[in-house]
Amino acid sequence: MSCVSELCANAIAHTASGRGGVFTVEVDCPRDGVARIAVTDDGGPSVPAAGRLDLMAEGGRGLAMVAACTTRWGFREAYPGRTVWAEASWPVAVPSPRQETVTRRALRVPPPDWSGGPAA
Instruction: Write the pLDDT tens digit of every residue in 56-113.
Output: 666 667 888 898 899 999 999 988 899 999 999 988 876 666 655 544 555 555 555 5
CA dihedral of residues 31, 34, 35, 37 (deg, nearest 10):
-90
113 within a domain of the structure (yes/no): no
Q: What CATH number is given to the structural domain containing 38?
A: 3.30.565.10
22 within a domain of the structure (yes/no): yes
35-62 tens-digit pLDDT = 999 999 998 887 777 665 566 666 667 8
Largest CA distance in the chain: 85
112 within a domain of the structure (yes/no): no
Q: 3-state class of 75 per DSSP?
A: strand
Predicted structure pTM score: 0.69
115 within a domain of the structure (yes/no): no
58 within a domain of the structure (yes/no): yes
Number of domains in the chain: 1
Domain carrying residue 48: 2-107
57 within a domain of the structure (yes/no): yes
